[in-house]
Structure 1
Amino acid sequence: MEHTLPTPRQTPSYLNLFTYLTANPSLKLSRQLHAHIILTHSSVSVHALFNHLIHTHPSSLLFNAVIRAYAQVGHYQQTLKLYSQMLSMGLCRPHYFTFTFPFLLKACAGLSLVQTGKCVHAHCLGFGFQRDLYVGSSLVNMYAKCGELADARDLFDEMPVRDVSAWNAFISGCMRSGMIRWAEDFFRRMERRNVLSWTAMISGYAQNGLPNKALSMFEEMSIGGGGSGVRPNWVTVMSVLPACAHSAALEQGKRIHHYASSVGLDRNSSVQTALIAMYAKCGSLVEARHSFDKLVPKGVVAWNTMITAYASHGKGAETISTFEDMIRAKVQPDFITFTGLLSGCSHSGLVEIGLRYFNDMEQVYSVEPRVEHYACVVDLLSRAGRLQEAKELIDQMPMQPSASVWGAVLAACRMHKNLEIGERAAKELFVLEPENIGNYVLLSNMYAEFGKWEEVDKLRGVVKSLGLKKKPGCSWTEINGRAHLFLGGDVLHQQAKEIYKLLEALPKQMKASGYVPDTKFALHDVSEEEKEHNLSTHSEKLAIAFGLLNTSPGTVLRVTKNLRICGDCHSAIKFISRIYDREIVVRDVNRFHHFQDGSCSCGDYW
């Protein structure tokens, strides 16, 4: 027989209905009750009605129901407030708490309130729930998410019976804290794994900068979870796609997309948004846009992802048009939207447009500028050579300038040869991030360009005394689904002989086309011949040469570099793209460069 809701005549009679639905959950009946409340109490919100009942007809059952409801929708502050209120009213019925403590602990974990969590733990002990499986797993989860892995491990070891959720909670906590070996050990020891177990490992690897391990585990899971029959769900797919983006593994990303499509997981909006980001970060804007266009409806995260994608590729006009489409779609922009928008203006030299958007942020769009927005505008002005204006903006900032702010100034000072402001920026950076050797290298390079070799030697002495080591330049490219890594001057690769033979032949062809090596990017006090040789062995050139040797004519070459591409390599790759009639996409630490027919998408503005 189909249940229908009785018609209550007085507000207090709702208590019986809430009690009934708590004990007998029914989505249909709950919606009927919600609709009835709206129709008969239009001036009273459901929240207000709950507050009314709690104050007029308080009961443990009602408090527990509301506490769980708040926790499930992420209203953690209100969850803990209600629990405190419940305790103050003396409504502590132990038999109702078995299913309430896990929600309280979830709230503590969500807010990273470990001390509050310890108080709830004490209450669990006081009510005798310390051996309850559900409560025990929630305690492990709370301590693990709050970074208290020792406490989480102790509780885990004391549990007489452990279900898969306790194992998963500890593995997730280990990955979140960077304790990868602990997580791997626990994963291996699990007798029974579910989709959350595999997903925790995959997302953990991706978040800890181990994309190859994340991809390898996804491959194993997608063919049946190592014999367990467990297969990826939409969360797993969404977790592994950033690993493809991190390593620029476009072919692997396409295979994951194909898998997701074959089982219907690509219909999930979060997966579709992750696909947009993956394709964009792997250098394929066309496929990123195709995934974006298929997404209906588009939320703010999807719009932000597409705006950021265009910005990172230096497509300023497309960045702006996408933002304007977002506004026309009546989607409210947030601070991430403007970070992408201003970055896009900066990379494309759209100074006045960028300044207008920055000025409109708060007044027109109700988004308060943050330090990252100031960093974008400082970068916008600095790249355009308006360094004095950038410095004045920094002096007017309502918050302390971050390292990204001064970093933008320092990089532009080298580009525009402004040593005075460059020294000021570098000194600020030495205080803000004393262990970042990149700042010392940039200033040292500026001194070298100005012929101030004594200052170069002083900086080298400081770097040596601090024990800092220069991050080696490396580049990688994916050929036939496999990543190939190259360090600067690499001679250990199995095809090193063929690579250097090709590179040795290139200068004659390029010089015949007008290429002149820019030896200021080989800033060692050595001969011009040695400088030219050093430039020819930069890692991105090695990766491109390898790609030319191992792909058929017309294949797009995609290279990722861990540092900023140097000016000489940028110039050389333009010539290579013309000589070999190839499209070459290079992603450096700042942005993408699309080289084709002797020119670059950045228009030499980078």
Structure 2
Amino acid sequence: MKWLQRINCFFHCPKKLLPKNFENPFTCTRQLNVLSFPPNPQSLKALCSNGQLTEALLIMAILGFGMKFEGYDALLNACVTRKAFREGQRVHAHMITTGYQPPVYLRTRLIVFYNKCECLKNGRQVFDEMCERNVVSWTAMISAYSQREYYYEALSLFVQMLRSGTEPNEFTFASVLTSCTGASGFELGRQIHSLIIKSNFESHIYVGSSLLDMYAKAGKIHDARGVFECLPERDVVSCTAIISGYAQLGLDEEALELFRKLQVEGMSSNYVTYASVLTALSGLAALDHGKQVHNHVLRCEVPSYVVLQNSLIDMYSKCGSLTYARRVFDNMPERTAISWNAMLVGYGKHGMGSKVVELFKLMKEENKIKPDSVTYLAVLSGCSHGGMEDRGLEIFDEMLNCKDGVELEIEHYGCIVDLLGRAGRVEEAFEFIKKMPLEPTAAIWGSLLGACRVHSNVDIGEFVGQRLLEIEPENAGNYVILSNIYASAGRWEDVRTLRELMNRKAVTKEPGRSWIELDQTLHTFHAGDRSHPRREEVFTKVREFSVKFKEAGYVPELSCVLHDVDEEQKEKILLGHSEKLAMTFGLIASPEGTPIRLMKNLRICVDCHNFAKFVSKVYGREVSVRDKNRFHHIVGGICSCGDYW
């Protein structure tokens, strides 16, 4: 029989066509005994369906020139599913050796196979050799480039596709819009949007989701919302994309409001949705809401993906609850570098240097995840905030010796400047900057200027302050700190000169905003805010508290006011700072003895920091303030920052 002759030929066929474990004739004989004969394409398809790819490849080799479309299709599909690279190569080699000319569909499957196995070069070679292409083959190659973040190659191929006269479909548009997002090709994305409208694909769910994602990541959230509202139907992907867009732009309240609205409308959520909402809650420091979302995740039995658990760690840390953050961290079945870094940053922002060093030691002992650049930033910053300058310097020396192979970046040098300055070693920090192999940034000079203010080093402070005014002439914070340094030295003429310079340059400070969560409701206050429902009561109380605190030793820090007005007016302006309004509201609206937790969008000013210390001292309240830089935990009039931030 012919199939017996093919068995004989099989043992003499080229090795590259044989399965790896079929090179020994005795092995082959054992395998042949379990197959039904004579071999045919139907038995090959059955073997592929049952996951017996090795046996199916044996049938392919035996059939030789008798292989047809159905057999190759079944084999390629099996190879794609299993990402079986060597086996797929043998299928491709068999086509070439037997002179089989695959149709467009099979060539496209080859492209998909190679791309699935991350061999884009092989996939592109198959694509380039195609005499005829359709939308699917173009899309397969464009999608492969886009998924592997070869955005410019994807966009270039899309242009070639249009020039060839091939019409894109919804999947093509979705893939190429992803590339526009990754390559920051916003203007090109707008052009593609116009083409999408002409092609009547704007209302397609895949295309719409990709469009709103592109606009959101380009910072055009209103355009993204417009696309979202026009979608005839919404799925979890489109809902998550728009919520994520708001959260990534820092529009946390808008993200949370939209999440609530969509939940009422029956939106289904996945782990990415919850991770985006937790990002928004982190920005708002809304602990009660965060706990609610966490409970919802547990009740709905959402799979414990690492990205979701990392978001929970970040949320709890930024909401001031390190106990919950550590509990999530300890219960993770697996951790990534992001997990360790999130926990380290959390401890560092709270000034818990010893915890940072302890966790860093545990990370190195486990030896599963290597410390990266962010890890060392978190550790050095934690040592700085925790008053552990000697340990921080030791770890920096370890980096210099490349023990973990992490390359030093400007931010690491900045941590050392901050660490030395915080410890009062201002001159040493100044010399360190001079010897740095990298050009110091405004942030590094700003860190040293802050140290000069705290430790009353006028000479270095004046030099650094003038340097910063040259680098960042529009940054109001630099004028304020330098003004404080002059004021503390009694150099009032220099203070006036500095303020006149501010007026000439029309330098203005970013409006302050603070918020506090009570009974699962966020209360937001702006500087001089008159919009809150209890505004009159709050303003009356803040004046009363100021008088009471003065009796206990509080002296308003008038140098924090940037306006050229008299002292009485300056004190009035200080009383309208958003932090004081939020703290006052917390005092009058929460039960006696409960902690007051608030958040500030900027760095807390010296006067509000002093005010918070007196709130803690006079009323026996623990005050927790998360400003732009770190947490301030104030108990009994003493702050965890050591009055340096």
Q: How far does residue 334 in structure 1 lie from its aligned partner after superposition?
A: 0.6
The equivalences for 1:395-434 within 5 A come to 395-434=434-473
Query: What is aligned with 2:194?
Result: 154
In the alignment, which of 157, 169, 174 is matched to residue 137 of structure 1? 174
Q: Which deviations, in whole Å up to 9, do the C-alpha atoms of 1:29-60 show, x marking residues without a partner?
A: x27x57xx6xxxxxxxx99x89x979x97999
The reply on whether 1:366 has 2:405 as its aligned counterpart is yes
Distance (Å, rounded) in 1 between the aligned partners of 2:433 and 2:111:
46
The reply on whether 1:251 has 2:288 as its aligned counterpart is yes
Q: How far does residue 216 in structure 1 lie from its aligned partner after superposition?
A: 1.2
The reply on whether 1:436 has 2:458 as its aligned counterpart is no
Distance (Å, rounded) in 2 between the aligned partners of 1:371 and 1:532:
39
| 1:265 counterpart SS class | coil
Q: Which amino acid aligns with 1:23?
A: N
Cα RMSD for the two superposed structures? 3.6
Q: How far does residue 9 in structure 1 lie from its aligned partner after superposition?
A: 8.5
Q: How far does residue 520 in structure 1 lie from its aligned partner after superposition?
A: 5.4
Is the contact made by 1:175 and 1:183 (CA closer than 8 Å) also made in structure 2? yes
In the alignment, which of 76, 100, 105 is matched to residue 22 of structure 1? 76
Is the contact made by 1:476 and 1:483 (CA closer than 8 Å) also made in structure 2? yes
| 1:264 counterpart SS class | coil
| 2:624 counterpart SS class | strand
Q: Which amino acid aligns with 1:189?
A: C
Q: Residue 65 and residue 405 in structure 1: after superposition, are their counterparts in 2 closer, same or farther (change >3 A)?
A: farther
Q: How far does residue 310 in structure 1 lie from its aligned partner after superposition?
A: 0.4
Query: What is aligned with 2:605?
Result: 566
In the alignment, which of 286, 300, 308 is matched to residue 323 of structure 2? 286
Q: Which amino acid aligns with 1:6?
A: T
The equivalences for 1:39-78 within 5 A come to 68=112
Q: Which amino acid aligns with 1:220?
A: K
Query: What is aligned with 1:593?
Result: 632
Q: Which deviations, in whole Å up to 9, do the C-alpha atoms of 1:316-366 show, x marking residues without a partner?
A: 111111111111221211111111111101112211110111111252211
| 1:594 counterpart SS class | strand
Q: Which amino acid aligns with 2:173?
A: G
The reply on whether 1:350 has 2:388 as its aligned counterpart is yes
The reply on whether 1:4 has 2:52 as its aligned counterpart is yes
Is the contact made by 2:270 and 2:302 (CA closer than 8 Å) also made in structure 1? yes
The reply on whether 1:538 has 2:550 as its aligned counterpart is no
Is the contact made by 2:476 and 2:508 (CA closer than 8 Å) also made in structure 1? yes
Q: How far does residue 529 in structure 1 lie from its aligned partner after superposition?
A: 6.2
| 1:191 counterpart SS class | coil
In the alignment, which of 512, 532, 535 is matched to residue 473 of structure 1? 512
Q: Which amino acid aligns with 1:342?
A: L
Name the stretch that deviates more: 145-154 or 587-596.
145-154
Distance (Å, rounded) in 2 between the aligned partners of 1:134 and 1:152:
13
Report how many aligned residue pairs link the two structures.
580
Distance (Å, rounded) in 2 between the aligned partners of 1:419 and 1:21:
77
| 2:514 counterpart SS class | strand
Q: How far does residue 20 in structure 1 lie from its aligned partner after superposition?
A: 4.4
Q: Residue 598 and residue 418 in structure 1: after superposition, are their counterparts in 2 closer, same or farther (change >3 A)?
A: closer
Q: Which amino acid aligns with 2:611?
A: A
Is the contact made by 1:202 and 1:218 (CA closer than 8 Å) also made in structure 2? yes
The equivalences for 1:292-331 within 5 A come to 292-330=329-367, 331=369
Is the contact made by 1:477 and 1:560 (CA closer than 8 Å) also made in structure 2? yes
The reply on whether 1:237 has 2:283 as its aligned counterpart is no
Q: Residue 589 and residue 61 in structure 1: after superposition, are their counterparts in 2 closer, same or farther (change >3 A)?
A: same
What TM-score does the superposition give when structure 2 sets the normalisation length?
0.80
Query: What is aligned with 1:201?
Result: 242
Is the contact made by 2:114 and 2:123 (CA closer than 8 Å) also made in structure 1? no
Q: Which deviations, in whole Å up to 9, do the C-alpha atoms of 1:120-176 show, x marking residues without a partner?
A: 023313544324332233233333543233222222112244521111111111111
Is the contact made by 1:67 and 1:103 (CA closer than 8 Å) also made in structure 2? yes
In the alignment, which of 168, 179, 182 is matched to residue 223 of structure 2? 182
Is the contact made by 1:273 and 1:302 (CA closer than 8 Å) also made in structure 2? yes
Distance (Å, rounded) in 2 between the aligned partners of 1:64 and 1:340:
47
In the alignment, which of 374, 377, 383 is matched to residue 416 of structure 2? 377
Q: Residue 235 and residue 391 in structure 1: after superposition, are their counterparts in 2 closer, same or farther (change >3 A)?
A: same
The reply on whether 1:583 has 2:597 as its aligned counterpart is no
Q: Which deviations, in whole Å up to 9, do the C-alpha atoms of 1:192-238 show, x marking residues without a partner?
A: 11111111110001112211111111112233xx2xx4311101101
Distance (Å, rounded) in 1 between the aligned partners of 2:544 and 2:165:
79
Query: What is aligned with 1:43?
Result: none
In the alignment, which of 502, 526, 551 is matched to residue 590 of structure 2? 551
What TM-score does the superposition give when structure 1 sets the normalisation length?
0.85
The higher radius of gyration belongs to 2
Query: What is aligned with 2:9?
Result: none
Query: What is aligned with 2:525?
Result: 486
Distance (Å, rounded) in 1 between the aligned partners of 2:469 and 2:60:
65
The equivalences for 1:200-219 within 5 A come to 200-219=241-260
Q: How far does residue 292 in structure 1 lie from its aligned partner after superposition?
A: 1.5
Query: What is aligned with 2:214?
Result: 173
Query: What is aligned with 2:433?
Result: 394
Is the contact made by 1:521 and 1:568 (CA closer than 8 Å) also made in structure 2? yes
Q: Which deviations, in whole Å up to 9, do the C-alpha atoms of 1:405-447 show, x marking residues without a partner?
A: 2221122122222233334333443454443332233223333
Name the stretch that deviates more: 276-285 or 387-396.
387-396
| 1:267 counterpart SS class | coil
Q: Residue 64 and residue 358 in structure 1: after superposition, are their counterparts in 2 closer, same or farther (change >3 A)?
A: farther
| 1:560 counterpart SS class | strand
Is the contact made by 2:246 and 2:254 (CA closer than 8 Å) also made in structure 1? yes
Is the contact made by 1:574 and 1:600 (CA closer than 8 Å) also made in structure 2? yes
Q: Residue 597 and residue 242 in structure 1: after superposition, are their counterparts in 2 closer, same or farther (change >3 A)?
A: same
| 1:365 counterpart SS class | coil
Q: How far does residue 98 in structure 1 lie from its aligned partner after superposition?
A: 1.6
| 1:94 counterpart SS class | coil
Is the contact made by 1:140 and 1:155 (CA closer than 8 Å) also made in structure 2? no
Q: How far does residue 10 in structure 1 lie from its aligned partner after superposition?
A: 14
Name the stretch that deviates more: 503-512 or 411-420.
503-512
